[in-house]
Structure 1
Amino acid sequence: MAFKRKTSSSFGLERRVRPRREDEWVEEPESQGSSSEGDDEVEEEEEGSEDESEPEQDTPKMDLSSVSFGALAKAQASLPSAGRKSKSKKSTDEDASKTETPAPRKSTKSKDDPKPKRSSKHAPQEQTSKKPVSRRREILPDNRRQYRDPRFDPLVGRVDEEKASKAYAFLDEYRDKEMADLRAQIKKTKDSYEKDNLKRQLQSMESRKKANMRRQEEERLLKEHRQKEKELVAQGKTPFYLKKSEQKKQLLVNRYEGMSKGQVDRAIERKRKKVAGKEKKELDFLQRGSRPRG
């Protein structure tokens, strides 16, 4: 049987085909045309196997510089797309791995871990640096000696204010005398700066005296109320605890009872002005907040 050598493609490239086993052809006595077609197919397969069996040195070497880009593109398109599929699959796998959310970190610390201890009692104590520092911290330490009065130290015990006020009642006389001296100095002083300074001192002392008097009045009112409740409880009645609001009302009543009519009117006028100024400030704040920006 004469074998025909397969001519090279029009592009000047040699196509190599892997040999495969084919089942033996059984001639069927159907028609002469069908047998001739089968013979041609067998001849082509044998030619392909023969071409592959030939060594690589028999294949003609082609200069790729003379081949056009269009021919190379067509030749690449005619090749099987297995390599391209594998590349696309790899790229899709990489994209999927990138889009996957990272697994959350597991905390290395556990609740059962023992707390770190010092190597010895003389070793310095370790403190975490992640703890926020208070803004009201002391930048420059004050090395001056801190003096304290052990009579009023809370470590000694609770201070009985009633006994302390009785024991140091003579200080009120000293304060009254000092206030009288300040008033006399204000009248004599001609320097405006010095006069303003003396007035501020006098006003501060007067405000402290008024605050002390109000506190004493509140304590006296509470003491009287407790004494009355003790007597009622001894009679078998339920005790009544005075609320803050009731305490304020009773203090106002007691305060106005000891004033004259003119003093009461002046006190009411001061209270009215104070409330009006407070309401005006709140109204201005609300108006500023409701104005459109821009």
Structure 2
Amino acid sequence: MSDGREHIPDIFEERAVIREKISTLSFEDLLKMKEDLGSKLYNETIFGPSKKIKQTGLKRENKNRPREISSKIRRKQIGKELNTKDIAVVKKVLPRDPRFDPLCGQYDDNIFKRNYKFVNDIRKDEKKQLEKELKSCTNTERKKTIKFLIQRIDNQIREEIKRDAEHGKKFEEKQNIRDQLKKGEKPVFKKKSVKKLEGLIERFEELKKTNKLRKHIERKSKKLTSRDRKKILNEDLRRLKRDGFVT
């Protein structure tokens, strides 16, 4: 026992001497020495031998019994103790809605139209392909679906043109107001009723040019007659209820 205790200070003295010698070396020489000796021997020489942790096996009184694992052991250690892979932690992905997410910025109609301007070109190409398919198609069900798709694309393009025209009018109106303010004049703001009347006049002129005015008037009159008929029926029903004929 005494020999072992006497031997311990000698080891510390040797390490101290080695460290003093190493302290004078440059970083490049240290790297070369590490390459020559190897990282394990190099670390043991400078820092001393690494302490090995004793792994205590989980024993069972009977082989048929399940293993009892301490609650103090961490989840990753349980996998190691049972010789299994570490339990993978799945990160919860939170869904993001760009409409209500402030990180996505605010919606700008002009930027949106500019970025997605190519959609109209795609629609036109799709319409051409559908028209070609319609000519060569023999299936009646497929023909119906193709006609429906063509009609839908036409409506989408028409609505887009209509929106662009309305946007152009609003921009022109704002520009006129700015020009009037620059000149020092009092700007004229149109009422909603005036705007509505102007829109109806433009609609009338457009229908007249495309020879769809008569059809539009007939459709409108049918709607009005049906509405009037419903109104009359409701009034009659209300009167009958009031007089007590209908409960």
TM-score (norm. length: structure 1): 0.41
Q: Who wins on radius of gyration, i.e. which is larger?
A: 1
Q: Which has the higher helix share?
A: 2
